[in-house]
Amino acid sequence: MSQDIFALVEHIEGQVSESSFELIAMARRLAGQTGGKTVAVVLGQDVDGITAQMGAADRVLQITGPSVAHFVPTTYVKALAQVVADRTPAVMLFPNSAIGMDVAGGLSVKAGVPLAAYATDVRMENGKAVVTSQIFGGKLNAEAEVNGDTALVTVIAGSASAAEGQAEGAPEVETMAAPEADDRISFVKLVEPEAADVDITKEEILVAVGRGIGDGDDIEIVEELAEALGGAVACSRPVVDAGWLPKSRQVGKSGLKVKPKLYIAVGISGAPEHLEGMRDADLIVAINSDPKAPIFSVADYGITEDLFDVVPAMTEMLES
Ligand SMILES: Cc1cc2nc3c(=O)[nH]c(=O)nc-3n(C[C@H](O)[C@H](O)[C@H](O)COP(=O)(O)OP(=O)(O)OC[C@H]3O[C@@H](n4cnc5c(N)ncnc54)[C@H](O)[C@@H]3O)c2cc1C
């Protein structure tokens, strides 16, 4: 077993995700505890531009070849299973994203190593990874000790500082050939989102509506509040899944990351995937009838009342 901490670098169309830098920062901290190295793992075809951004790592392991030119979970798992078997990193970190969860789950099964998901913190104790994970949509945390030579961990975005993972430096670079594709799944094309009527990432005031609204026809009351404030309407994912608002309005992990001056969350529980997209807003106001809803953990102001009473009353007050 090595003392090294590996972190998977997630990238798409040449852009490295912010979570990848957070993982490098966390890997550095853990490597400080084990006395090992921080290793950034980059899969892709022409990845020198990505490797050049990994200055905060001690080493970059590039796995290159046509089979990993695009993200394909089965081929990523095949490549990384070999890495885990040959190098036995103490911990391998993945973003808790669609890509990270796909790969880490498959890798855990293929390599026969344990996985802890939804982590917000990892530390080393007596040579073992101790992981704090969010459960029940963030209402509770669980602490787990991971037994085995290698621990796979998927880390929720925002759990470490991306800036600390972006330092200057000249890591050693090692290149490995990617394996043959595991073509049970093959990449076909990237589907770009539809053009948006409003760019919610540029709005200073957002009123975001969640499943608590209950019916698409009632979104009108949220639109009226947004208009009275001079802002725009955003939403959580179930609202998009129900077809009530377009995908371009979705905030969160699989939607957009926003940082308005004011974010009013209406009938939104505050699942980690939603918080990931809005927790950096300057001022957060949450309206939710459940006082235990996790949204209140990030809110500056909270109103534990029925949204159908509060929202029209706020609009009326603003209009008068
Ligand atoms: C890989 C992945 C990616 C995801 N990406 C995203 C993403 O990008 N964005 C996203 O939002 N989610 C995303 N999700 C889904 C996420 O896990 C949650 O399911 C979702 O955020 C819940 O949306 P919600 O808060 O609107 O609904 P719910 O969790 O159902 O919450 C509704 C809330 O409304 C409150 N409420 C109900 N009635 C009233 C009332 N009359 N007055 C006041 N309050 C009321 C309830 O107390 C409740 O807290 C993702 C999930 C996965 C697995």
Rounded distance between C-alpha atoms, residue 96 and residue 135, angstroms: 13
- Beta strand pairing status for 59-64 and 38-44? parallel
Query: 24 and 165 in contact (C-beta within 8 Å)?
Result: yes
H runs (alpha helix) in the chain:
18-34, 48-51, 73-87, 98-111, 219-229, 237-241, 272-278, 307-319
Distance from residue 136's CA to the centre of ligand 1 (Å): 12
Q: What is the mean pLDDT of the chain?
A: 95
Residue 279 lies in a domain: yes
Domain boundary among 177, 211, 246: 177
Query: pLDDT digit string (tens) for 34-65?
Result: 999 999 999 999 999 999 999 999 999 999 99
Burial of 130 (0-12, 13-18, 19+ CB in 10 A): middle
Same domain, residue pair 163 and 219: no
Same domain, residue pair 205 and 124: no
Query: pLDDT digit string (tens) for 180-197?
Result: 999 899 999 998 777 778
The CB of 242 under 6 Å from ligand 1? The reply is no
Structure pTM? 0.75
215 residue type, one letter: D
Indicate the number of domains in the chain.
2
Query: pLDDT digit string (tens) for 239-260?
Result: 999 999 999 999 998 899 999 9
Rounded distance between C-alpha atoms, residue 300 and residue 209, angstroms: 17
Structure tokens at 53: 């951004």
Residue 102: count of CB within 10 angstroms of its CB: 18
Q: Domain limits at 209? A: 200-319
pLDDT greater than 90 at residue 167: no
Distance from residue 12's CA to the centre of ligand 1 (Å): 26
Residue 190 lies in a domain: no
- Beta strand pairing status for 205-209 and 262-266? parallel
Residue 146 lies in a domain: yes
Rounded distance between C-alpha atoms, residue 319 and residue 240, angstroms: 29
Domain boundary among 114, 142, 177: 177
The CB of 288 under 6 Å from ligand 1? The reply is yes
Rounded distance between C-alpha atoms, residue 219 and residue 235, angstroms: 10
Residue with CA at minimum distance from ligand 1 atom 50: 273
Residue 195 lies in a domain: no
Rounded distance between C-alpha atoms, residue 135 and residue 157, angstroms: 15
Residue 186 lies in a domain: no
Same domain, residue pair 207 and 98: no
Distance from residue 114's CA to the centre of ligand 1 (Å): 29
pLDDT greater than 90 at residue 293: yes
